[in-house]
Amino acid sequence: MGGKMSGRNLIVYLNGNKTGILHESRSSALRFTYTDEAEAPISLAMPLNAVYGDEQTRAFFENLLPEGDLREMVAQAHRVSSNNPFSLLKEIGRDCAGAVVLGDDLLLNDTTSLQELFDVEQFVSKNDAILHYELGMRHSLAGAQFKTTVTIINDTYYIPSPFFPSTHIIKSANPRFQDLVANEFFCMTLARQIGLNVPNVSLLSSGSLVYLLVERFDRLIKSDKIERVHQEDFCQILGYLSSNKYEDEGGPRLIQIVKAIDRYSKQRAADLASLAKLIIFNYLMGNCDGHAKNLSMIHSSTGPYLAPFYDLVATSIYQGRSTRNATSINGVFDLESIDKAAIIKEFDQFGISGKRILALVLRDFKDIVSIGKEVARHKALEPYQATINLIIGNMSKRLDRLAKE
């Protein structure tokens, strides 16, 4: 029988190592098989020495792709179906989140040298980015925000290439929410200031363009090359498609993330403490988009651990935007209905007293409002004071609510 022969194959490299074959059958079923050379698994949910069927394979690979309009746009640019992850990854799977690269046998022979990027504004503008997808800048990152990637070495911007993958993500201003990148810059910077592990971010402009430059934590710049560090998000770890990332659409609950950290992390106590801090931070900021794809684990040679936090945005300030949380706190979804009791009950599932966890987090966050006001004085945030003040005002109210009850 045709078996393995019919259908299509893509080679999956991990850290430059030919690790597996992604196979698509003629009826579009996916299958993943590790090669004999495989040294490390692509997913915590997919240990070596096994073959994975459609469900597990699809969950891992589909989650590498952009979502929403962005996925449509990429599909159109490459003239492939937006609902075919294999076709999409065949086109853009050259520079993904983590250390996986998808392509053919010739891929690793491509030593195209770096091309300097002179006009960031043009590069980032929407039309041009489509062009870059067509021309071969084939990165695939999750999310629906408009974004592109760059390689920055010694402060010089380059167009990423196979040997020099992107080191930074550029998120450009959203036409519907002009202040979104400033909002994210504020949240990420405040998170860092109060001790959460987040990547370096800068709010920059080039001509009329305002953009957020995010340092990738899954890249290591060595003297002669750029190494990838593997990571995967919690939809991948837990086996959910990106379309099910929200809890009320059948997506993961916080307890599943807690259990996965408990099961896989090499530093479970520290990671659970960080997760508790993130949950309170998101609550205070009014970030309702803390779903399972906005949280990842790093695969390191010494074991997996929680990746730095990203995509922290005060989403609730946008009128018409729902204040329904991506994940519930003890079954409560609405941001303004979450109370101390719900948080404590949720934290009780972490393995130690929820009351104690909350007390520790609140102690760490006791100066968050004044630190927030400090961050708001950042020069780049000057034009966005109304937005930032709104976020700080809401944060202050929610903090009072938690402190009082």
Provide, for the chain, the percentages of residues in helix, strand and coil under a 3-state DSSP scheme, each rounded to the nearest 5: 40, 25, 35
In the list Mg ion, ligand ADP, none, the entry touching 82 (Cβ below 5 to 8 angstroms by class) is none
Q: Closest approach of Cβ 126 to ligand ADP, in Å?
A: 14
> DSSP label at 43?
B
What is d(CA 70, CA 77) in angstroms, rounded to the nearest whole number?
11
Q: Closest approach of Cβ 347 to Mg ion, in Å?
A: 24
**Contact with Mg ion (CB under 5 A) among 56, 294, 296, 327:** 294
Q: Closest approach of Cβ 262 to Mg ion, in Å?
A: 24
What is d(CA 304, CA 132) in angstroms, rounded to the nearest whole number?
33
Q: Applying CB under 5 A, what is the total number of residues that bind Mg ion?
A: 3
253 φ, ψ (degrees, to nearest 5): -95, 160
Find the farthest-apart pair of alpha carbons in the chain and give their distance in angstroms, rounded: 70
What is d(CA 297, CA 287) in angstroms, rounded to the nearest whole number?
20
Q: Closest approach of Cβ 395 to ligand ADP, in Å?
A: 20
Q: Which of residues 180 and 357 has its CB atom nearest to ligand ADP in the complex?
A: 180
Which residues lie closer than 8 Å to 307 by C-beta, 6 or more apart?
Answer: 217, 218, 231, 295, 296, 297, 298
CB burial readout 319-335, b (16+ within 10 A) else e? eeeebebbbbbbebbeb
**Residue nearest ligand ADP (C-beta atom):** 143
When asked if residue 143 is in the footprint of Mg ion (CB under 5 A), the reply is: yes
Q: Which of residues 14 and 292 has its CB atom nearest to Mg ion in the complex?
A: 292
Q: Please give the structure tokens belonging to residue 193.
A: 């200031």
Q: Which of residues 217 and 240 has its CB atom nearest to ligand ADP in the complex?
A: 217
Site of interaction with ligand ADP (CB under 6 A): 97, 141-145, 147, 169, 199, 214-218, 233, 293-294, 296, 310-311
When asked if residue 311 is in the footprint of Mg ion (CB under 5 A), the reply is: yes
Q: Closest approach of Cβ 296 to Mg ion, in Å?
A: 10
Strand partners, 123: none
In the list Mg ion, ligand ADP, none, the entry touching 201 (Cβ below 5 to 8 angstroms by class) is none
What is d(CA 330, CA 343) in angstroms, rounded to the nearest whole number?
7
* Given the residues 289, 334, 364, 367, the one annotated as active site: 289
Q: Which of residues 31 and 230 has its CB atom nearest to ligand ADP in the complex?
A: 230
In the list ligand ADP, Mg ion, none, the entry touching 199 (Cβ below 5 to 8 angstroms by class) is ligand ADP
Q: Which secondary structure element, helix H or strand E, spans residue 44, and what is its range?
A: none
Q: Which of residues 143 and 165 has its CB atom nearest to Mg ion in the complex?
A: 143
In the list Mg ion, ligand ADP, none, the entry touching 144 (Cβ below 5 to 8 angstroms by class) is ligand ADP
Question: How far apart are the two ends of the chain, measured CA to CA in Å?
Answer: 68
Per the CB < 8 A criterion, the answer to whether 78 and 134 are in contact is: yes
In the list ligand ADP, Mg ion, none, the entry touching 94 (Cβ below 5 to 8 angstroms by class) is none
Q: Closest approach of Cβ 335 to ligand ADP, in Å?
A: 19
Which residues lie closer than 8 Å to 295 by C-beta, 6 or more apart?
Answer: 233, 234, 257, 275, 278, 306, 307, 309
Active site residue 289: yes
Q: Which residues bind Mg ion (CB under 5 A)?
A: 143, 294, 311
Residues known to be catalytic: 289
